[in-house]
Chain A
Amino acid sequence: AAVGKKVLDAGWFAARSTEVDFTGVELTTTHPPHSDQAPWLKAVVPGTVLATLVKNKLVPDPFYGLENESILDIADSGREYYTFWFFTTFECKLSTNQHVDLNFRAINYSAEVYLNGHKEVLPKGMFRRHSIDITHILNPDGENLLAVLVYPPDHPGRIPPEGGQGGDHEIGKDVAAQYVEGWDWMAPIRDRNTGIWDEVSLSITGPVKIVDPHLVSSFFDNYKRAYLNTTVELVNKSDSVAECSLTIQVGTELEGDVYLV
């Protein structure tokens, strides 16, 4: 596998959790779903549960007319109605001393991840990244089955008849976007934006991984003298000392009629 990031944004299916009879272990080992079999739908990832339901025309688009009124609100349906499975497969074959992480850049609001029969819990919080080292749970044949059970916010709240800014404000108990209960400029979002709402990716590295570099520039002599300070976290995933050479390169885009020969 080439070193770098591989985004998983195609070939996702989704299904309402109450309509799936298998466990996450079964879905990712003996009973993987097939896209054209109900209750499975083609899913929008990244996106929300409602985005997937709208895409499959199972609910009207909430942004037209009063269509939003005809979509069942989570306060009436209960959280399980918007608790959804998301499923996909991916290829990944590592060479010796390579490692791979599965990354979720944002999930709303918490989730359980199943990969080839192994389970990991993604803790609560709409604005946090999750990264799981899956090096040792990849399938030897390279074909991997991934299922994610996504739960809505803990406090979805109930929209009072008069609406209002933030509905009954219950959503404020969670660390999540608050507009979803409706505001003076916005109707309530029925699923409270539950879903895998940002990028899912694999990051393939050798024994040492670069994490969250921090670039800071400082200026002196009226901006004539500038320094670029760089701090990185380096993680050695192997079981032996890693002798590394760390290189930073800073270049500018070629402009105008300057060409690189």
Chain B
Amino acid sequence: VHLQTQQLSIPAGSSVQYTLPELFFYKPNLWWPNGMGKQSLYDVEITVNVENHGESDSWSQHFGFRKIESYIDSNTGGRLFKVNGKPIFIRGGNWILSDGLLRLSKKRYETDIKFHADMNFNMMRCWGGGLAERPDFYHYCDIYGLLVWQEFWITGDCDGRGDPVSNPNGPLDHDLFLLCARDTVKLLRNHPSLALWVGGNEQVPPEDINTALKKDLQLHPYFETSMDCEHSLKDIC
């Protein structure tokens, strides 16, 4: 178990964004996609206690240590994926949604997703005409090792490539689209199975939306660099 506590004061009626000092792990159990290794998951629990009150709130989530990279291969034009530095051959399935009346249940999700894992899939592609899938969907993809390609709500047919061509500039309210996209990213971003956000199906979102999404979804530079050199493995050991 890794445990760390920080003290901080929060002014009345306000909110603060706080980054805890990072936790160091030596050779953590890594999360691997279906067929490449174990889906090791850690339990992360965050608790805030307030002086003269006691426990005020807590939050917990399964978390998997993994690094997912993908890029367009110049030879084939296809997108190549790597997980924890190892190339992976994607065996993916199209996913629209569990039920057209949105009777979405944990039991249904577990059954559907385990079925795909048993079929030896290692990716689910959530199609842009369907849903931003729910936390329960991602929970079982975490458990069964199915990477998730999650599209935002743009399709060629409805956004500028249908016949007749319709909505060439996508949805009427771009600010609303970005508000929904940002909130969806916050809802889903901690799941190890989440591998790729995609603008839409067979269509690039309108320029302003696409630019904003690309900017918002970049990893913050703070996380790109290794710690100062004193944290070398030798010292830690």
Contact = CB atoms under 8 A, between A and B. Distances in A.
A and B found bound together: yes
Given A225-B26, A244-B56, A179 B45 contact: no
Nearest to A155: B172
Contacts of B14: 235-236
Contact of A245 (B16, B22, B49, B190): B49
A251 B17 contact: no
Contacts of B158: 166, 169, 171-172, 178
B15 interface: yes
Interface string B1-38: 11111111111111111111011111111100000000
B91 to A, nearest CB: 21
Given A211-B15, A241-B10, A173 B167 contact: yes
Interface stretch (B73-81, B99-107, B116-124): B99-107
B47 to A, nearest CB: 5
Contact of B44 (A54, A212, A250): A250
Interface in B26-67: 26-30, 40-51, 53-59, 61, 63, 65-67
B57 A169 contact: no
Given A208-B48, A214-B190, A247 B7 contact: no
A238 interface: yes
Interface residues of A, number: 94
Contacts of A158: none
A243 interface: yes
B17 A172 contact: no
B17 A223 contact: no
Contacts of B104: 46, 197-198
A39 interface: no
Interface string A115-158: 00000000111111100000000000000000000000000000
B130 interface: yes
B227 interface: yes
Contact of A244 (B48, B171, B219, B223): B48
A83 interface: no
Contacts of B40: 252
B231 interface: yes
B50 A206 contact: yes
A179 B171 CA distance: 15
B134 interface: yes
Nearest to B128: A178
Nearest to A230: B20
A208 to B, nearest CB: 4
A228 B167 CA distance: 43
A208 B176 contact: no
B24 A3 contact: no
Contacts of A249: 1-3, 43-47
A234 B10 contact: yes
Nearest to A174: B171
Nearest to B181: A127
A253 B49 CA distance: 25
Interface of B: 1-20, 22-30, 40-51, 53-59, 61, 63, 65-67, 84-85, 96-97, 100-104, 127-132, 134, 153, 155, 157-159, 162, 166-167, 170-173, 176-177, 179-181, 183-184, 186-187, 189-190, 219-220, 222-224, 226-227, 231, 233, 236
Given A218-B223, A221-B233, 14 more contacts: A47-B101, A166-B162, A207-B50, A217-B28, A232-B20, A236-B10, A241-B12, A244-B50, A244-B56, A246-B47, A247-B3, A249-B44, A250-B45, A251-B2
Interface of A: 3-4, 44, 46-48, 50-51, 54, 62-63, 97, 105-106, 123-129, 164-166, 168-179, 183, 185-186, 189, 193, 195, 197-198, 203, 205-253
